[in-house]
Structure 1
Amino acid sequence: MEHLRSFFRVIRVFWTVCSFYLKLGFIYIARRYEPALRTKGSYNHSIVVLGDDHALGVGDYSTLTGGSGIAHKLTKELAKQPPIRQSWQIYNRGEYRTSTEDWLHPADSKRKEKPKLLTRVFQDPKYLNAEIVIIMLGTYDVLEKTPSLTPQDTLRNLQHICQALRKNGKKAKSIYLCTIPTAGDDIYLTEEQRANNLTRNRLIEEYVKKNDDGVLPGLQIDSASNFEMRRENLYWQDGRHFSDIGYTMMAKDWVLLIRPDIVKREFALFRPDLGL
């Protein structure tokens, strides 16, 4: 009987791993066919969601054509907003298991093999000309070994990324920086690593509060700063990645946060037509 239980445990683990990578494959395929948001009017705008697993949408419900994560959920939520009358395309540029070091501009990286993710964003006009950039990054810094990243390194890397984004593309773009999710830290990380993540988030909050680089505070998606993020149903079965419910809740919060910015940009584009 014990051998039978052991066999079923192995099968369950194997199925969980397979379903995870199948889900991941769906996410990457689906984001190639991200549909544009069509609302009233013919003016076009764009938003880019940039970062790691949480930007990519790992843990969200996904199909080959459905899209996932904040980019997908935010598209749906914006379509429900009467004040938003123009077209907003939202691009998913999350990359699986990436650290802040992986997203540095090559000139800012100390690695021998320079990172290319941000360079690829700058090479594509549809991402480069985005008016709003959402950054969800830093989860994997605590696990980075080559080189190891301290909380101060994380902040420095995020500053470099934001500065590079500011210098390239539309000058008047809005950059929103989120805190680092901490769900599951008590299970997967050591006490020292958990403390480092708390320090990372404190440094991020101080950075966006100063607003030296024109970076705006995004959502507080860590459970220490935002008690709403402590609900278990917001997370996938691994306890770390957000679930469909979690991404939907965050998308609704994002609408409240960026709606004034969106309306202001729409009016600025429409204003000449009114003779103002």
Structure 2
Amino acid sequence: MISYKLGILTPDTNTEIENNWFLDRAFNSHVDFCIWVLKIDGLKVPPFDQHPNGSRILQDKGMDVESWRLWLNKVVATQDYRLHFEVSDLQSKVEEELASLQALTAQMVQQDGTLPVIDWSAVRSSLTHVYTWKHELYRQAVQQLGSLSPQTVPPDVWQGKAEIKNLLNDLWQNYQLLNNKTNTGIEYLLAIENRLITEDLYSQLEQYRTHLKALQIFLVNYPSLVEYIVPPFSAILSLTDEAPLSEQFQQRSLRVAEALSVL
């Protein structure tokens, strides 16, 4: 996850919180599994309808477009970025972060010899407010998710027929055995040298931040380029087995951000 914090050493906590805007772009096996299931079974769920017919192992037991969509949305909810914001010990977290900032400042002084004027008590207060805010986001996400968690495997999220859940459990075990769940396109975007792609995208997304508080992009393996939004802030972008054009990926990301921002 890429989290950009502006003005972390400023005493204006409200500005700091407002400027925390999260852009997450990652491969997620839980979400990818939901797409992989379509390819195995052959169920066509627009826009994921560009794969060939499959075994119909799930369709024959009653899985249809609507039940798959409900399942996918629930799986995406278990991967909510806010679920990583838990702060179990606020004071310890603040002091740990403060010590890290002080060490970084000391290192900067050694490099250029300039001693910045920093009100560390104000920084401590700012950090306290920020981590309190983040834990509140975590609490909200947990409340919405109920008994589920990011570790809940996709088959356990299924709320339909028990027969389908059993089949999903079997398929999940098979999926786990795959040597390579990603593809060339996904690996290219996740490469360290392409981090600049995300940083550039972050700046371009500024126009949507008033109505969109975050953008969580799940990269999945699919034979054609597909975009699928899951409100309020998630989107699924498929990638094929070819290295994508940076500009094309950015345009696709901006397209889903715009769609989410008007909902």
Scaled to the shorter chain, the TM-score interval is under 0.3
1 or 2 for the larger relative contact order (CA 8 Å, sep ≥6)? Answer: 2
Structure-1-length-normalised TM-score: 0.20
Structure (1 or 2) with the larger CA radius of gyration: 2
